[in-house]
Amino acid sequence: MKIRSRLKHGASGLLARFISRNNDYQGFWTLGVLYSIARAAPWRVELNLISGDVYPANKITTSVAAEQSAILRPALFKQNVAWNSLKRATVTVQFNARVQVGYTDIRGEPFVCIVELESVAGQSATVSCVGHCAAWAPGLFSGRAGYLYPQL
C-alpha cells in the first residue's frame, strides 16, 4: 500500500475517534469541553500532535493533544508508518462554522474538524467532517459515572 493511503487510513481513524461521543475529557465529551474554552473569535482549537503546540494554550488542550498523539502513534505503526517519518500531524476544530450540516434538529452549532498528516517526503493526507456541538457548561450535560465537573 502506498504511503499516502496509509497516512489517509491513520488520519481517518484518528478523526473518527476524535469526534466520537466516546472520546471524553474527564468524563465529558471532548469536543464540548474544547468548545467551552474556545467561546470567542476565532472559535478554533489547533492541536499539533508532534510538537505538542496547542491553540489556545491551556491544560485541557495540552492534555487532549498528548492523548491524541498517544492514539495516533500505534495506529500509524500498524500501517507501517514510522512516527519520525512525519513532518506534520495536526487536528483543527473550527467551532461556530458557517457550514451546512445534513441534519438540523440537533442541539449546538456546526463545527468542522480537520486532521492533516504529512510525511517528511512530502506525501500528505487530509480528512475532515462536519457536525454539531454544544459547549460544555456546568449542569447542562451529565458526565460519565463518577464525574461531576471536568477539572478545568
pLDDT tens-digit profile of 26-43?
888 899 999 999 878 899
Look at residue 99 and tell me if it is in a domain. yes
Which pLDDT does position 137 carry in this prediction? 73
Cα–Cα distance, 110 to 42 (Å, whole number) = 14
pTM, rounded to two decimals: 0.88
Nearest alpha-carbon partner for 151 in 19, 27, 18, 22: 27
Rounded Cα gap, residues 74 and 78, in angstroms? 6
pLDDT of 139 reads: 65
Which band of pLDDT confidence, cut at 50, 70 and 90, is reported for residue 11? very high
**Euclidean distance between CA atoms 146 and 59, whole angstroms:** 21
Percent of the chain at pLDDT exceeding 70: 86
State how far the Cα of 83 lies from the Cα of 76, in Å rounded to an integer: 7
Residue 86 falls inside a structural domain: yes
Tell me how many domains the chain contains.
Answer: 1
pLDDT confidence of residue 97? 81
Tell me which residue range forms the domain holding 53: 3-133
Distance CA 49, CA 18 (A): 13
Q: Is residue 96 part of a domain?
A: yes
**Averaged pLDDT score across all residues of the chain:** 88
Higher per-residue confidence, 109 vs 17:
17
Q: Is residue 108 part of a domain?
A: yes
Total residues found in the chain within this entry? 152
Q: Which residues contact 143 (CB under 8 A, 6 or more apart)?
A: 24, 26, 27, 28, 149, 150
Determine whether 87 is exposed, middle or buried from the number of CB atoms within 10 Å of its CB (0-12, 13-18, 19+).
Answer: middle
Task: Quick: pLDDT tens for 125-138.
Answer: 999 999 888 888 76
149 in a structural domain: no
Q: Read off the pLDDT band of 9 (50, 70, 90).
A: very high
